[in-house]
Structure 1
Amino acid sequence: MIMHSANTVMSTLILRFRRRWMLVTGVLLVALVVAFAAAGFGGGEPSTTASSGDGLPPATAEITTETLTQTQHIDGILSHGEPEPLIVQATSGVVTWIAAPGTILEEGEAVYEVDGTPVILVHGSEPPHRTLDVQTVGSDVEQFESSLADLGYEGFDVDDTYNEDTATAVEAWQEDSGLDPTGEVPPGQIAVVEHDIRIALHGLDIGSRLGAELNQTVLTYSGTKKLVSVPLDVDKQQYVAEGDSGTVTLPDGTTVEGTVTYVAAATQEIEGEGGGEFIPVEVSIENQETLDGYNAAPVTLDIVTGEATDVHSVPVTALVALGGGGYGLEVLENGETSYVHVETGMFADGMVEISGPGISEGMTVGVAE
C-alpha cells in the first residue's frame, strides 16, 4: 500500500471536526438575558410585565453558595498521533518485507527487510550515518551501546568508544537478530527511533528497489499509545497550556481523564475552504484500556479554565438589566418584591456568581421562565 500524505490525512480530519470549538455558554446566556431585559425595561425602574397576575415573578430560585467551574469545550481527534516518516538508510537492495500497518514494535524487533535481511529497531535520537566498528568514537556509539544494554547484552561499558568488548556483544546481538555476526553495525542495519513504534502506512511497495532516489520513506509510524490531537484555533490559545488537566468524551459518551502534554510554539495552516491557521495540541491519556475499540474517532475535550470557590450564585435567568445600568435581582420577601443591584462574576453551566450589599444565601429571587 502506498502511503497517503500524513498532512493530507490530518487536514481532512481537521476540516471535518472543526464544526464547533470553544463556547462559554454563560456569555451567550447573558446576551439573551440582556436582550430580554432591554425589551422589558425602558426607564429608571424595571418593568413588571413578565410578572404573574399578582405582581410576583412567574418563577423563583434561591441564592446558593457553591463552587462554579468554567469549562471550555474543544473538538479533537483520538488517534495514535500524526505519523512520522522512517527514511531508508540502505542505498541498494530490494525491500522484501515490511511490518504490517497497526503492528506494535518494541526495541530489538525487525521493522522491515532488505534482500531478506532484517532492519532492527533501536532507541535513540541520532540517525545512523556511519558504520560502527572497533575504534569508532562518538555520541552515536554511546547511543547504540545504551540500546544494546537495554536489550540485555553485557560485557562492555556504555560510553562513546566502540571497542573489542562492544564488538563481542554486537556479534551476539546480530546472531540473535538473524544478522551476519560481523561485530560491525552499518547504518542500514538499524532503524533509530526514540521509542517503540506503531506502523501507520507503508511508503514503499514490497519489491521496491532502493537507491533509485534519495531519502526514500519505507513507512510511517506513530507512538504506541493513543492520544487526542487538537487543532486549536489561534484565538483560543490562551485557554490551553501544557500540564492542564481535561476530560475527554468518547463517541459513546464515556469520559476519561487526560493531560495536555504538548502545545506547539508555532502555528500550522490548512489551505483551502474551511482551512486557516491552528495550533497543534496533544493530550495524553493514562488509562488506555478505556480506549479499546477506537483507532481514530472524533472526541470532545473539556478543560477547566476558571474556578470560583464558595461564591453566591443564581441562575443566569435571574439577572435583570437595571435602567441605570448594570444588573440586579428581583428579591421576594414577605409577598413583596424589590430590586437589588449586584455585581456579576464567573458564568458557568447556566449559573452566575453574584455579590453585593444585602446578598445572602437562601434569599428568594425571581427568574424568567
Structure 2
Amino acid sequence: MTTTDDTEAARPSSGRRVTPGRGRVVIGAVAVAVVVASALTVTAWQNDGGKPDTGGGAAHTATAVVTRSDLSNAQTLDGNLGYGRATMVKGGKSGLLTWLPATGATVRRGRPLYRVDNVPVPLFYGGTPLYRTLEARGTTGPDVRTVADNLRALGYDIGVQPAVGTWVTPRHVTPTATASPPSPTSGASPSPTTLAAPSTTPVRVKRGDGVLTAGLIAAIKRWQTAAGMPATGVLGVGDVLVLSGPVRVEGVQAQLADPADGTLMTVTSTAKSVTVQVDPGEAGSMKRGDTVTVSLPDGSTAPGTIASIGATVRTTDASNGDDSSGQPRLTVGIDLRDTAAVRGLNSTPVQVQFTSETRKGVLTVPIGALTALREGGYAVQLPGGRLVAVRTGMFSKGVVEISGDGISAGTRVVTTS
C-alpha cells in the first residue's frame, strides 16, 4: 500500500522545487528565531485530496494580505534632558572677587562673568584663550584672532587685518646695553644703561592668526572704556574669559573676597539637549545628523538630531546618576529641534528612539507567514496550499520584507493566527 506524506512537496511559481519540513516553522519577531514546528503542533498542510487536513491536532491558521509599506529598524534607549556636561571655570588673574553671578544666570559675549578688584572679567567666544600679554603692535597669533573676532562681533571697527601669508614685523622691544653719558660734575666714566630697541624679525601670518594692528589696539581701548575696564589698549592673561559660546551658570563655588585665581563656578551650555549612554556596539549604526524622536514625561514627543558621538568609552557609575550596570558606554548628544516643547523642563529622564535603517515601499507580510524550507530559505503558503519561495529583507515590529515570483501587494498568504 502506497502512502502519501502529509507534507507533500510543492512547486513554487519560480519553478524551483520547494520541499518543506514536516510542519510549519514560525520566525520570532525580534530575534527572528526558528521555532520547531512540532512544538507548535502546526501540521495543517494538504491531505491526499488536496484539502487542508482538519484533524484534531491542526494548528490555528489565518490568512494575511501582502502589503506595500515602509519599514525601519528602531531602538529606544533611556536618556536625560538637561543642559549638557558642566565645565569648571577657574580664575586667571590675581586679586579678590568682588562680584559673582547668580546660579541659573545666562552670560553672553562681552558681558562680565565675574569681577576682580571691582574690574569686570568679560566673556569672549573662541577656542584659544589669552596666554600672554597682548601689548606690542605686530603681535601675531590665534589669541589675537580671538580678541579681533569678538570685538568685531560686538560692533567695533578693528580696521583691516593682514592677510594670511603676509609678513609682519612685531614691534617687540629687547633690552640692549649702551653707555650713559658721563656725569658733568663727577667726570666719572660712562656706565652701561639698558635702553629699548625694536625687534626686526618678521613673522608670517598663518591661517587662524590675528595681528595686533594699530586699528585693533584702538578698538580695544574703546571697548575697555565701554566695559568699565582701564582703557590701556593692553590685555593680559585672565583679563577676559574665553569659552566656546554663551553659558548658563550651573553653580557658584567661590565666595566674595575669595582669591580670584581659584575655582570659581561651573557653567553649561544655554541650550537644552539630551544625552544618551549607548553601548559601543550599538553606536556603530548611529551618525551625526541622524534624526531621532525624544519621548517626554508628559507623553509628547520632540524631534531631535544626533549632534555628537563620544570617542571615549567610559564605565557607567550609579553614584553619578548613570545606569548602574557598570557597562562601558559612549555618550551620544542630541540637539532638540523644537525647544518650545521642553521650555518648562530643566532636567528629566526621557526616552530616545533611534532609527538606523529605513526601507521605503517594500512588500511585507507578518513574520508568522514565513515557512522555513528544508533545503534552506523561506516560502509563503497561498490559501490553495501552494508554496512560493521568497527572499526576505528587513525584519521590523512583527513584519518582514519579502520578494518573490508571483508575490505582489494584495496577494493572500497563510499565517499563524
Is the TM value for this pair above 0.5? yes
Structure 1 residues 4-43: Cα deviation after superposition (integer angstroms, max 9, x where no partner): xxxxxxxxxxxxxxxxxxxxxxx85255873374513689
Q: Distance in 1 between matches of 2:353 and 2:53?
A: 36
Q: Residues 308, 244 of structure 1: CA spacing in aligned structure 2 closer, same or farther, 3 A cutoff?
A: same
User: Deviations for 1:89-140, whole angstroms, at most 9, x for unmatched residues?
Assistant: 01x2222322222222110101112232211001221112222224260221
Q: Does residue 1:241 correspond to 2:291, yes or no?
A: no
* Equivalent residue number for residue 305 of structure 1: 356
User: What are the equivalent positions in structure 2 for 1:36-55 lying under 5 Å apart?
Assistant: 37=37, 39-40=39-40
Letter matched to residue 66 of structure 2: I
Which of the numbers 303, 323, 344 marks the counterpart of 1:293?
344
Q: Is the 8 A contact 2:79 2:349 kept in 1?
A: yes
Q: Which moved more, 1:282-291 or 1:157-166?
A: 157-166
Corresponding residue SS for 1:170: helix
Alpha-carbon shift at residue 362 of structure 1 (Å): 1.6
For residue 87 of structure 1, what is the aligned residue in structure 2?
Answer: 90
Tell me the equivalent position of 1:230.
Answer: 276
Counterpart secondary structure, 1:188: coil
Match of 1:345 in 2: 393
Aligned residue for 2:218?
A: 168
How far is the alpha carbon of 1:363 from its aligned partner? 2.3
CA contact (8 A) 2:43 2:57 kept: no
**Aligned residue identity for 2:109:** E
- AA aligned to 1:313 is T
- The structural deviation recorded for 1:233 is 0.6
1:225, CA displacement in angstroms? Answer: 1.3
Amino acid in the other structure paired with 1:264? G
| Distance of aligned partners of 1:146 and 1:59 in 2 relative to their CA distance in 1, 3 Å threshold | same
From 129, 146, 159, the counterpart of 1:143: 146
Give how far 1:217 is off: 2.6
- How far residue 322 of structure 1 moved from its aligned partner, in angstroms, is 4.8
Structure 1 segment 156-305 matched on structure 2, within 5 A? 156-158=159-161, 160-211=210-261, 216-270=262-316, 274-305=325-356
* 1:164 to partner: Cα distance: 4.2
Structure with the higher helix share, 1 or 2: 1
Q: Which has the larger radius of gyration?
A: 2
CA separation in 2, counterparts of 1:218 and 1:196? 17
Deviation per residue, 1:33-83 (Å, 9 max, x gap): 733745136899799999898979443321112221222222222221111
**8 Å CA contact retained: 2:123, 2:242:** yes
Q: 175-184 vs 264-273, which deviates more?
A: 264-273
Distance 1:46 1:222 in 2: 69
Cα pair 1:44 1:323 within 8 Å, conserved: no
Give, in whole Å, the separation in 2 of the partners of 1:46 and 1:105.
77
When structure 1 is superposed on structure 2, of 185-194 and 127-136 the one drifting more is 127-136
The alignment status of 1:62 with 2:65, answered yes or no, reads: yes
Q: Deviations over 1:270-316 (max 9, x none)?
A: 35752221112212223222221121122222222122233221122
Aligned equivalents of 1:228 and 1:38: distance in 2? 48
SS for the counterpart of 1:187 is: coil
CA separation of 1:162 and 1:306: change in aligned 2, threshold 3 A: closer
Segments of 5+ residues of structure 1 without an aligned counterpart are 1-26
Distance 1:267 1:155, change over 3 A: closer
**Corresponding letter in the other structure for 1:252:** D
- In structure 1, how many angstroms separate the alpha carbons of the residues matched to 2:215 and 2:368? 78
Query: 5+ unaligned residues in a row in structure 2: which ranges?
Result: 1-26, 163-209, 319-323
Contact 2:245 2:269 in 1 (8 A): yes
Q: Distance in 1 between matches of 2:54 and 2:273?
A: 52
Equivalent residues, number: 335
Identity of aligned residues (%): 30
After TM superposition, the structure 1 = structure 2 runs for residues 10-159 of structure 1, keeping only pairs within 5 Å, are 29=29, 31=31, 34-35=34-35, 37=37, 39-40=39-40, 57-90=60-93, 92-135=94-137, 137-139=139-141, 140-154=143-157, 156-158=159-161
Alignment RMSD = 3.2
Q: CA deviation at 1:199?
A: 1.6
Q: Where does residue 11 of structure 1 map in the other structure?
A: none
Instruction: Report deviation, 1:154.
Output: 1.7
